[in-house]
Amino acid sequence: MKGDVKKVVLAYSGGLDTSVIVRWLLETYGCEVICFAADVGQKEELDGLEAKAINTGASKIYIDDLQEEFARDFIFPALRANAIYEGTYLLGTSLARPLIAKRQVEIAALEGADAVCHGATGKGNDQVRFELTYMALNPHIRIISAWKDPNWTFNSRESMFDYAGKHGIPLPLTKAKPYSSDRNSLHISHEGAILEDPWAEAPEDIFVLTKSPECAPDKPTYVEIDFERGNPVAIDGQKMSPAKLMDCINLIAGENGVGRIDLVENRFVGMKSRGVYETPGGTVLWAAHRGVESLTMDREVMLMRDSLIPKYAQLVYNGFWYSPEMTALQAFIDQTQENVTGTARMKLYKGNCILVGRKSPFSLYREDFATFEKDQVYNQMDATGFIRLNALRLRIQAMKKEKMS
C-alpha cells in the first residue's frame, strides 16, 4: 500500500522481472526505488543498465564490482569443499545469491531504506536464498517479495511482456527467445521455454560460455593449475587474482567445450526443475583440485570431508550460507586444506576434462612403497595378518551360517 514503504532497495538485473518490478513498486507503494546490480561477472550484460534503471523510474542505481569478493569468499571456499549438488551442479547461482543479498542489506543501511525487494518467484530457490540472507543480516528490515505480494497481478511471463511493452520498458529477451539466464564468474544458467520439457535437447543458440564440443579444437589443450591451501592461485605458472583466474580458466575451458551440464534438480521448495548450465572454468578447477588432494590428503581425513560434501552443497543450495552450521562446516573444511598445495595438469579436449598429472611438495605418495618392482621398504608378508584381522568378523558370520545349516 502507498505510504507503507518510503524507500526500497531492489536487487536489479535489468531482466524481465526486475524491470517490471521497478515500475510496479512505484505504482503500488509510491516509494523511492533504488536499484542495486552486483557485478559478479556478467560482462556485457551490465552495459546500459544505469540508463535503463533510471528511465524505468529508479531514483538511482548502485552497480558494485563484487567479482573479487565473489571468487575469493564464495567460489573458492566451495571449491575447497569440492561442493557439488546432486552429483552434477557446481552451485553457480546458489553461491552468488548470498553475496548479492548481503550487499543489498548494506546499501539499505547506507541509504536509510526501510525495505529490500527481489524478483525471485515463489516457486524457486532464489526467494529462499535472498530472504534467509536478509533475515540473517538484518532481522528487522522489511522484505518485499513481488511474486508473493498480494498486490502483484501478473500471473505469467506473457502478462509481464505485455506490461513492459505498454510502458516502453526495453527487455533483453523476447517472446520468440524467452529463455531466462543468470550469469556470473562461475557459470551461466539457462531455464524456461523449451527447456521446461526435460526430453527436449537444448538448442545450440542458447550457449554463451562454451563452444559446442563438435566445433572445439581438434587438438587437446593442456593447462597447469597451481593450488595453495586448496585455492587456485596460478594458471600455467602465472599468478592471478581470484577473479582474473576465473576469467582466464573460463576462456580456456569454454574454447574446448568443457562444462556443459543438462540436469533435472530437486528444488528446496519441493518440485523438480530442468536447467542447462555452462560451468567451464569451475569444471576444470573442481577436477584439478581433487587431483592435488589425492596426493596430499590423508585417507581418513578425505573420507570424512567427502562424507560432508552433500551436506555442504545442500546448505549452499538451500540458502543457508550465513547459518552457524555453515560457519562450523567451513572451518572444518579449511582445516583439511592446510597441505593441499601443488599443481595439477589438465587435458581439455572436445568437452572432456582429464587429469593427466599432479605434483606437490606435501605429497604423501611414495613411489618406493607403491612400486610393483622390487623394493626395500615394504614387507608384503605384513599384509597377511592385516587381511586376517579384517576378515575375522566375516569368518565368524560364515561359521555361524555353517552351524545353522
pLDDT, tens digit, for every residue of 280-298? 999 999 999 999 999 999 9
Which residue ranges make up each domain of the chain? 7-70+94-178, 183-359
State what percent of residues in the chain have pLDDT above 90.
83
> Are 21 and 146 within 8 A, CB to CB?
yes
Average pLDDT over residues 165-193: 81
pLDDT over threshold 80, residue 348 = yes
Q: Residues 140-165, buried b or exposed e (16+ Cβ, 10 A)? A: ebebbbbbebeebebeebeebbebbe
pLDDT over threshold 70, residue 372 = no
pLDDT at 181: 86
Q: How far apart are CA 176 and CA 196, in angstroms?
A: 15
pLDDT at 180: 80
Q: Give the active site residue among 126, 145, 181, 226.
A: 126
End-to-end CA distance of the chain: 79
Q: How far apart are CA 328 and CA 326, in angstroms?
A: 5
Q: How far apart are CA 335 and CA 309, in angstroms?
A: 15
pLDDT at 89: 97
Q: Give the active site residue among 23, 97, 129, 358.
A: 97
Count of beta carbons in the 10 Å neighbourhood of residue 202: 16
pLDDT, tens digit, for every residue of 322-344? 999 999 999 999 999 999 999 99
pLDDT at 44: 73
pLDDT at 46: 85
pLDDT at 329: 98
Q: Give the active site residue among 13, 17, 94, 182.
A: 17
pLDDT, tens digit, for every residue of 209-249? 999 999 999 999 999 999 999 999 999 999 999 999 999 99
CATH tag, 183-359: 3.90.1260.10
pLDDT at 379: 79
pLDDT at 373: 66
pLDDT, tens digit, for every residue of 139-174? 999 999 999 999 999 988 789 888 988 888 877 655
pLDDT at 11: 98
Question: Looking at domain 7-70+94-178, does it have CATH number 3.20.20.60?
Answer: no
Q: Do domains 7-70+94-178 and 183-359 have the same CATH topology?
A: no
Residue 258, C-alpha cell as written in the block: 568443457
> Are 185 and 67 within 8 A, CB to CB?
yes
Average pLDDT score, the chain: 93
pLDDT band at 178 (very low <50, low <70, confident <90, very high): low
Residue 97 falls in the annotated catalytic set: yes
pLDDT over threshold 90, residue 352 = yes
pLDDT, tens digit, for every residue of 32-84? 999 999 999 998 778 889 999 999 999 999 999 999 999 999 999 999 999 99
Residue 17 falls in the annotated catalytic set: yes
Q: How many residues does the chain have?
A: 405
pLDDT over threshold 90, residue 187 = yes
Q: Give the active site residue among 59, 142, 180, 290.
A: 180
pLDDT band at 192 (very low <50, low <70, confident <90, very high): confident
